[in-house]
Amino acid sequence: MAYLELAALKKVYGKDIEAVKSFNLKVDKEEFIVFLGPSGCGKSTIMRMIAGLESVTEGNILLEGESIIDYQPKDRGISMIFQSYAVWPHMTVYDNVAYALKLRKISKEQIDKTVKEVAKISDIYQYLNRYPNNLSGGQRQRVAVARAIAIKPKLFLMDEPLSNLDAKLRVSMRTDLKRIHQELKTTSIFVTHDQSEALSLADRIVVMNHGYIEQIGTPNEIYHDSESMFVAKFIGSPPSNFLTVKVKEREDKIFVIHSDFELEVKNKYKKALKNKYINKEIILAVRPENFTINKKGILKVKCNIIEPQGSHVVINIFVGGEEIKVVSNILTLKTNEEIDLGFSEKIAFFDIETEKRIR
């Protein structure tokens, strides 16, 4: 039995705005799940349904095997961090953390103990008597974390908690969140549209688009084994390159043909292509780092633009009129230099119609 189960969850706003369309997910205890997707894809809506702030149109939410959709938010044993932190401005940091405990009618001494404990964990001990308006964004963020962990929730929801922080703080905060998760092991769901956040935090990532799940998987699976063109495009920076190619069969060998090159398909995809796609167009997807340069390549191209990134360079190249981006650690490449481009083993094919992976 899963710890948290979202079963065919659906949300319709008004008459016909389908924010979430049949959402299925099983979360194990102590897992850290990240919802990743573009703006407006329904991430917040799902979180709010789990928290009880939004009614469920259809489907069910089971926590420890028990349906919670008829419970008030306060009775669900869930805590949440909001994008705006929602740290109450009229209470001191101490009272912010203690409020939930007071409502639970816990003794004063116990509250004091808990508040101080979580304040230490989230590193706000010295600010306990301040009002939130006298704290920086990062400090407020920590107060929100302290408040959320103080009640020892069954489930910890975070809706883009880091998006209001500056870039540097965001990175350090995310390390802190990961540390806190490893310490407390609270089952967590984290929403973001920042892929690097998702990749670095998640046990599993749920990639969403238009209220659908595109793919569920570990960060590695999502990145290296993208199930759809949407995921391949959404994850990775720069994202995956797409080239339209035609499948041909010659003397029992399978080739994909592009105006500028031909590539023999040798690996596991050979069979799949042969079965369904002979003489059809498909999409060849290659991540920028999965090219080879000057190592027995299959086409000669000119480096169009070179963007140095310190540890590596991003090269823009035209292949048959389409621009692709290639990442290389050869830092000495020059604009207009001719290179010998090849593909590594890690390439993927997508159906041009369904945009799904061909396996």
Partner 1 sequence: MEKNKKGTVKSVFKSPYMFLVPALLFYTFFWLLPVSLSLIESFTSIDGGFSLENFKMMFDDPLFGEAFRNTLIFAVISLFLQFIFALMFALLINRNFKGSKWFLFIMLIPMAIPPSAVGILWNTGLVESGWINSLLSVTGLQNLIELLGIAEGPIIWKEASGLQAVFMIILIDTWTVLPSVMIILLAGLQNFNEEYSEAARIFGANRFQALKDIVIPIIKPTIITALLLRIISGLQVWLISVMIFGFNNVPFLLERIVFYTDQVRLGVYSYKLSVTYSVFVVAVVSITAYIFIKLTKGKDWSGTSE
Site membership for ligand ATP, residue 195 (CB under 6 A): no
Choose the binding region for partner 1 from 2-10, 62-70, 128-136, 328-336 (rule: CB under 8 A). 128-136
Q: Contacting partner 1 (CB under 8 A), which of 83, 163, 196, 292?
A: 83
The span from the CA of 119 to the CA of 102, in Å, is 16
Site membership for partner 1, residue 138 (CB under 8 A): no
Pick 53 or 305: Cβ nearer ligand ATP: 53
The span from the CA of 124 to the CA of 133, in Å, is 14
The span from the CA of 305 to the CA of 335, in Å, is 6
Q: Contacting ligand ATP (CB under 6 A), which of 15, 16, 39, 311?
A: 39
Q: Contacting partner 1 (CB under 8 A), which of 134, 172, 175, 220?
A: 134
Q: What DSSP letter does each residue of 160-205 carry, written as one string?
A: STTTTS-HHHHHHHHHHHHHHHHHH---EEEEES-HHHHHHH-SEE
Residues 285-324 that bind partner 1 (CB under 8 A): none
H runs (alpha helix) in the chain: 43-51, 93-103, 108-121, 137-150, 167-184, 195-201, 219-224, 229-234, 269-276
The span from the CA of 86 to the CA of 92, in Å, is 13
Q: How far is the CB of 165 from partner 1 (least distance, A)?
A: 17
Site membership for ligand ATP, residue 19 (CB under 6 A): yes
The span from the CA of 202 to the CA of 183, in Å, is 15
Q: How far is the CB of 3 from partner 1 (least distance, A)?
A: 19
Site membership for ligand ATP, residue 55 (CB under 6 A): no
Contact code string over 9-48 relative to Mg ion, x by CB under 5 A: -----------------------------------x----
Site membership for ligand ATP, residue 13 (CB under 6 A): yes
Site membership for ligand ATP, residue 23 (CB under 6 A): no
Pick 55 or 332: Cβ nearer ligand ATP: 55
Q: How far is the CB of 74 from partner 1 (least distance, A)?
A: 5
Query: Is 263 within 8 Å of 254 (Cβ atoms)?
Result: no
The span from the CA of 158 to the CA of 282, in Å, is 39
Site membership for Mg ion, residue 226 (CB under 5 A): no
Tokens of 93: 């940091």
**C-alpha dist (Å) from residue 14 to 17, 39, 46, 200, 277:** 6, 20, 16, 37, 43
Strands lying side by side in the sheet with 58-63: 17-27, 4-13, 58-63, 66-67
Contact set with Mg ion (CB under 5 A): 44
Q: Rule CB under 6 A: which residues touch ligand ATP?
A: 13-14, 17, 19, 37, 39-45, 193
Interface residues with partner 1 (CB under 8 A)? 51-53, 72-74, 76, 78-80, 82-84, 86, 88-91, 99-100, 103-104, 131-134, 147, 151
